[in-house]
Amino acid sequence: MIKQTVGITSIGYYIPSEILTSEEMAKLANLPEFVFTEKIGMKQKPIAGKDEHPSDMGIKAAIEAINKAEITASEIDIIVYCAAGDYDYRFWSPAAKIQDAIGAKNAFAFEVRNFCNSGNLGIHVCRNMLLADTDLSYALVVCSDKLSMLLDYSNIDNLSTFIMADGAAAAILKKGELSNEILSYHAMTDGKLADCIKVPLAGTRFPINITEINPELSYLKVKDPKELENILSEIYLENYAKVIHKSLEKSGYCINNINFLLTNQVKKSLSKRILKSLNLKFEQTFISLSEYGHLGAVDTLFGLAKTMELKIIKPGDVVVLASSAAGFSWAALTLKY
């Protein structure tokens, strides 16, 4: 029996043209600029315009991915929208909006939400759906976020979140595709950390229609910066390593077989620690934080697209897309390029 494969046949992305510089962020936060440039490792980040929303960016990335794949939108069977932050509206389907906008009239569209792991999870879900149904051939995974709207730079307790930026990436998955073959996925969650990061406003606890709304409730909140720092320095690394090792193991590989590791973008010191903990070299990853900030679920697909453009990865390379997310969750997806 011939083994059926699913691979990523193309990736499109969209990055807004407006930027917020480290100097501007430093002024907003009343901090020295070196905190952003040296400690965090970021010079600037893209910011979506006032009238530019997640679905708008997602549509642009999706169209580019479709064009690169040289297919028509009507050939797409599944569309999954993956985001870490807010949709254009609170009670609404961005996946359906994208389906209509691109003319994918034959596609079933839905959302997957696992914060910054959403892209990896969306790819995993779509791969399984394609393999399980003989009628399905193509899936479109769209990651798009406007995370900059969640930030209050005057609250330095939230410094670790100031890297958040805006952008979109989209991938076409094809049954039978050998390039970027999706091999395996592994994920885990530590629910004890669920309340560490949240936006209080607009849930059932603080509904949007309450009187005398405190505007501070609409911004991202870090409950305890010291606790978060402990998570990032200890638990984070341990669980990152666990999902990467397990995903590789499911694929029949081990850490020594990795040619490239693409992670969600984190501050410079943490990125170095991730590589060191896995005995990987700096040349085995792609760092986009300096220019693009942290794009949420977009990061790993954007990194894969950039490494493909630069021809850094070669046919046969083992590539791992690894991500961490609020909640907290960790996930790793192993590909063979």
Q: Which residue has the higher pLDDT, 156 or 145?
A: 145
- Average pLDDT over the chain reads 92
pLDDT digits (tens, 9 = 90+) for 102-151: 999 999 999 999 999 999 999 999 999 999 999 999 999 999 999 999 99
Domain annotation covers residue 1: no
Residues 103 and 24 in one domain: yes
Residues 156 and 230 in one domain: no
pLDDT digits (tens, 9 = 90+) for 287-298: 999 999 999 999
Residues 63 and 212 in one domain: no
Residue % of the chain over a pLDDT of 70: 95
Residues 275 and 316 in one domain: yes
Q: Tell me the pLDDT band of 219, cut-offs 50, 70 and 90.
A: confident
Question: Strand (E) positions, the chain?
Answer: 6-14, 19-21, 44-46, 78-82, 108-112, 138-146, 166-175, 181-189, 197-198, 221-222, 260-263, 318-325, 329-336
Q: Which own/partner contact pairs does 248-252 have at CB distance under 8 Å and 24+ positions apart?
A: 248/184, 248/318, 248/320, 248/332, 248/334, 250/183, 250/184, 250/185, 250/186, 250/334, 251/183, 251/184, 251/318, 251/334, 251/336, 252/183
Residue 211, pLDDT above cutoff 70 = no
Report, as an integer, the average pLDDT of 321-334.
Answer: 94
Distance CA 211, CA 205 (A): 13
| Total number of domains constituting the chain | 2
* Structural domain boundaries, residue 307: 183-336
> Which residue reads 């300096």 in tokens?
290
Residue 210, pLDDT above cutoff 60 = no
Residue 231 pLDDT: 67
Residue 197 pLDDT: 81
CATH number at residue 306: 3.40.47.10
Residue 88 pLDDT: 94
Between the ranges 48-62, 153-167, 179-193, where is the mean pLDDT highest? Answer: 48-62
Residue 6 pLDDT: 98
Residue 316, pLDDT above cutoff 90 = yes
Q: Residue 318 class from Cβ within 10 Å (0-12 exposed, 13-18 middle, 19+ buried)? A: buried
Residue 75, pLDDT above cutoff 60 = yes
The neighbour count for residue 237, using CB atoms within 10 Å, is: 18
Domain stops at, among 178, 203, 233: 178
Q: Tell me the pLDDT band of 318, cut-offs 50, 70 and 90.
A: very high
pLDDT digits (tens, 9 = 90+) for 234-273: 788 889 999 999 999 999 999 999 999 999 998 888 889 9
Residue 1 pLDDT: 56
Report, as an integer, the average pLDDT of 299-308.
Answer: 96
Q: Contact at 8 Å (CB) between 332 and 242? A: no
Domain stops at, among 178, 206, 224: 178
Look at residue 259 and give its three-state secondary structure: coil
Residues 151 and 203 in one domain: no
Domain annotation covers residue 93: yes
Residues 25 and 123 in one domain: yes
Residue 35, pLDDT above cutoff 60 = yes
Residues 171 and 195 in one domain: no
Residues 210 and 130 in one domain: no
Domain annotation covers residue 30: yes
Residue 205 pLDDT: 81
Domain stops at, among 146, 161, 178: 178
Residue 2, pLDDT above cutoff 90 = no
